Structure 1
Amino acid sequence: MIVNLRGAKWHVTTFVEQHNHLVYDKFELKKFLRSHRSIPNEERKFVELLHQANISSGRIMEIMSEIYGGYQFTPFVTKNISNLKVKLGKGTKYKDMVDTLAHFEELKKSDLDFYYKIDLDEKD
């Protein structure tokens, strides 16, 4: 394609429809293209469920490849799952400590000998 600037607008003067690069038609190579690196919504929900069950990225990838019929047919890679797990973990960064303290309070009510102490830093 050849374009020329005329005033404030670009105009296409020549267009060649043929590709000037290799076109890959293999499905299993699509997952390596930046434009196709996302996890589809249905699979994303399933990966979130597996993440909540504390399953590792590698194991999640094994499960997904079984569903798709092999690694070569899975439309994403393990790194995509790892990145999603990081995003999911950011929303619950301090939640485990709140749950732990609530559990300690319940233990304290039911067991008079139970004792715990917390030292907070400047960031609580």
Structure 2
Amino acid sequence: MYNLDVRDEVQEGIEEMIVNNEISNMSKYPVDELRIGLEFTCIEDAKRFYNDYAFKMGFSIRKQTHYKARKLDDAITSITYCCSKAGHSKPTDQEKFEHQNSQSCHTPKKDCPNRRTNCKAHAVFKIDDRGKWVITVVANEHNHELIASPSKTRFFRSHRNITKEQKDLIHMLNEQNISASQIMSFLEAKEGGRHNIHFIRKDLSNENLRMHGQ
């Protein structure tokens, strides 16, 4: 279906990357089990777990706060990850413009849009004496609708991600002078469909620009 002129050695590298990617993406923890006391060997695993949980439940996350200990050479000892709708945000100029136009057109009055809702959902991870990262606080209550649809959730900011294996594959295909649209189509076919790609074409184009800028 996708007639891409890729040399045999490139194809072999692609197949190996896909297999490695599938293995690396296997979760070590049940994503349903968000609870106090759950341990992780490193903060990267902790963040990945909470982000996987957020993906399944239908929200996005971001880092809210972190603390350092002076006695440990400013090493981070605590991190809080929260729902991306925590706090408040100002509407963009475009949103203000659309809001003003809706008022001038005598449409039903609405509040100026706010992308954040001051949601309080979060999880706190602290490092213990053994060097393990442990969940010490869990707040699961959201004050907004959750979008538990992978076809939509995958485009939330914390879930939009190009894996290292995918980046290597993109670079490899780009060196073969394959266009961004062809690369995207190729990745979609290799991953079993567009719904399994957790980034948009703009992200791919940005990755190509970043590579050329190096």
Give the TM-score category using the shorter length.
0.5 to 0.7
Please state how far the C-alpha of 1:17 moved relative to its aligned partner.
4.4
Deviations 1:14-66 (A, max 9, x none): xx742211112222223321222220111111111011111111100000000
Please state how far the C-alpha of 1:72 moved relative to its aligned partner.
2.1
Q: Which blocks of at least 5 consecutive residues in structure 1 are unaligned?
A: 2-15, 92-124
Q: TM-score normalized by structure 1?
A: 0.56
Query: What is residue 65 of structure 1 aligned with on the other side?
Result: 188
Matched, 1:80 2:203: yes
Matched, 1:24 2:147: yes
Q: Which one has the bigger helix percentage? A: 1
Larger relative contact order, structure 1 or 2 (CA cutoff 8 Å, min sep 6): 2
Whether the 8 Å CA contact 1:28–1:74 is kept in 2: the answer is no
Q: Which blocks of at least 5 consecutive residues in structure 2 are unaligned?
A: 1-119, 121-138
CA distance in 2, matches of 1:17, 1:43: 32
SS in structure 2 at match of 1:32? coil
Q: TM-score normalized by structure 2?
A: 0.34
CA distance in 2, matches of 1:17, 1:76: 26
* Root mean square deviation, CA, Å: 2.0
Identity %: 29
SS in structure 1 at match of 2:199? coil
Q: Which one has the bigger strand percentage? A: 2
Deviations 1:83-103 (A, max 9, x none): 000011112xxxxxxxxxxxx
